[in-house]
């Protein structure tokens, strides 16, 4: 006997409804159960620097809110490539997160002819975290107290001035090239594996200059160990109000007027509910008053963007900064 078409349609409808309910329940379950084990934050710079501070501050707050341990795993070197590749190849389960700056996902595209990862295809954005001010500093033995005096000093040096960077192609490397081009001075960029070793050589009078985070610059200028000349970005810092911006001093270079950002990424293929859960955890941590204050007092500007918003912005900035690199004479290697 033939089954009436009405019954077949009804069975299909019920089956579709059951499947829909199951799909709806799974994301809710994934979000409520996550995290159920330690999360690893991979940081592409040495411990003690600005990015490491942000990662540890957010990690501590996420641990407080979820009771799940957050482990910070520092993997410095190769302009962030080592850390990025480590996360790219990790299981896409949300338990390995790259906490990085724009170097690994923007600058490297214009810096290298080939990369072992694609910053868009191989990662799931989890949102921007914060923007960071950077200050041009020199050690106490440099005979200059203002940016103008530093420029004059650099022009008088036959072989130019040394400039410690956080690595080849990093924001600080771009800043050194932009300063040299804008001020018409010879700036010799020397790459390090992050900010901490740069600071060590500044304090040891082995470098003439560098870009330093507020985390470093404020403490060391107050001690008299470093001199601060100018800060990037569109406005002065409330924490260091006596330090003028490059823009105030007549430098309109886009790199010197930008404050680089920090962001979080998971491996591509991370389930959307898990990615959204991580985004929520990070944004909740950034909005916690104690965390917001701790970051702001170190010169960071908490952002906390959404996943889709950051993905769109990332594509735009890759194109823009690749052009900036060409403008300052940095060619892909």
pLDDT tens digits in sequence order for the chain, 333 residues long: 444 433 434 444 444 444 444 444 444 444 568 999 999 999 998 898 889 999 999 999 999 999 999 999 999 988 899 999 999 999 999 999 999 999 899 999 999 999 999 999 999 999 999 998 999 999 999 999 999 999 999 999 999 999 999 887 788 998 999 999 999 999 999 999 888 899 999 999 999 999 998 878 999 999 999 999 999 998 999 899 999 999 999 999 888 988 889 999 999 999 999 999 999 999 999 999 999 999 998 889 899 999 988 888 898 889 888 888 888 788 888
Q: Is 0.85 surpassed by the pTM of this model?
A: no
**Spatial distance between the Cα atoms of 189 and 312, rounded to a whole number of angstroms:** 32
Burial of 158 (0-12, 13-18, 19+ CB in 10 A): exposed
DSSP 195-233: HHHHHHHHHTT--SEEEEEHHHHHHHHHHTSEEEEEE-S
Q: Are 78 and 154 in contact (CB under 8 A)?
A: no
**Spatial distance between the Cα atoms of 144 and 163, rounded to a whole number of angstroms:** 15
**Spatial distance between the Cα atoms of 215 and 297, rounded to a whole number of angstroms:** 9
**In the block, which residue shows the tokens 């921007």?**
128
**Spatial distance between the Cα atoms of 204 and 214, rounded to a whole number of angstroms:** 19
All structural domains of the chain, each given as residue ranges with its CATH number in brackets, are 36-131+260-327 (3.40.190.150), 134-231 (3.40.190.10)
């Amino acid at each position: 006997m033939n089954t009436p078409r009405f019954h077949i349609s009804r069975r299909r409808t019920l089956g579709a409804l059951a499947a829909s309910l199951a799909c709806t329940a799974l994301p809710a379950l994934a979000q409520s159960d996550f995290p159920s084990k330690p999360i690893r934050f991979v940081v592409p710079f040495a411990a003690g620097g600005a990015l490491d501070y942000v990662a540890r501050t957010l990690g501590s707050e996420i641990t407080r809110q979820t009771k799940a341990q957050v482990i910070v795993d520092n993997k410095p070197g190769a302009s962030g490539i080592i850390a990025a590749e480590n996360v790219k190849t990790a299981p896409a389960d949300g338990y390995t997160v790259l906490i990085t700056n724009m170097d690994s996902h923007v600058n490297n595209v214009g810096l290298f002819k080939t990369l072992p990862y694609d910053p868009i295809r191989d990662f799931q954005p989890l949102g921007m975290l914060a923007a960071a001010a950077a200050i041009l500093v020199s050690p106490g033995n440099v005979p200059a107290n203002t940016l103008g005096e530093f420029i004059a000093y650099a022009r008088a040096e036959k072989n130019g001035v040394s400039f410690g960077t956080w690595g080849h192609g990093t924001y600080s490397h771009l800043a050194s090239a932009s300063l040299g081009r804008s001020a018409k001075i010879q700036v010799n960029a020397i790459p390090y594996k992050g900010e901490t070793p740069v600071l060590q050589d500044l304090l040891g009078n082995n470098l003439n200059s560098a870009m330093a985070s507020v985390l470093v610059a404020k403490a060391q200028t107050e001690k008299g160990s470093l001199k601060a000349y100018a800060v990037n970005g569109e406005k002065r810092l409330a924490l260091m109000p006596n330090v003028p911006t490059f823009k105030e001093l007549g430098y309109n270079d886009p790199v010197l007027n930008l404050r680089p950002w920090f962001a979080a990424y998971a491996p591509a293929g991370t389930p959307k509910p898990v990615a959204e859960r991580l985004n929520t955890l990070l944004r909740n941590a950034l909005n916690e008053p104690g965390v917001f204050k701790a970051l702001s007092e170190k010169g960071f500007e908490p952002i906390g963007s959404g996943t889709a918003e950051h993905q769109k912005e990332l594509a735009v900035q890759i194109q823009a900064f690749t052009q900036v690199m060409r403008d300052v004479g940095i060619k892909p290697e």
